[in-house]
């Protein structure tokens, strides 16, 4: 009975409930958007790093333009290994 008669307590509980619901909704929404933005940024950055790295290396272009797979030079193998290690070295 005490809750029904106390309008200030009802208002406080209602306000806290609404603020809590909005806070949780905003938290989930912002977290998802920030994560998606970070993933997309890293995808674009990785493409740019690869493009700038292989821009001047004719062996890379010859490797991908060949009709049949050929042998990979040690320099290209090291380059590809460095690309694969980019994700683990940013730690």
**CA-to-CA dists, residue 46 to 36, 39, 52, 55, angstroms:** 15, 11, 10, 14
Domain ranges of the chain: 1-46, 56-91
Model confidence pLDDT, tens digit, residues 6-65: 888 889 999 999 999 999 999 999 999 999 999 999 888 888 877 777 777 776 766 666
Query: What separation, in Å, do the N-terminal and C-terminal C-alpha atoms of the chain show?
Result: 58
Give the pLDDT score at 14: 94
- The C-alpha angle 7, 13, 18, rounded to 5 degrees, equals 125
pTM tops 0.85: no
């Amino acid at each position: 009975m005490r809750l029904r008669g106390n309008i200030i307590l009802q208002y406080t509980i209602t306000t806290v409930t609404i603020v809590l619901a909005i806070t949780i909704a905003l938290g989930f929404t912002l977290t998802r958007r920030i994560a998606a933005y970070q993933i997309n940024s890293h995808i674009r950055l990785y493409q740019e790093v690869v493009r700038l790295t292989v821009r001047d290396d004719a062996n890379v272009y010859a490797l991908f333009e060949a009709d049949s797979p050929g042998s990979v030079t040690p320099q290209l193998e090291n380059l590809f290994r460095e690309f694969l290690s980019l994700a683990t070295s940013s730690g």
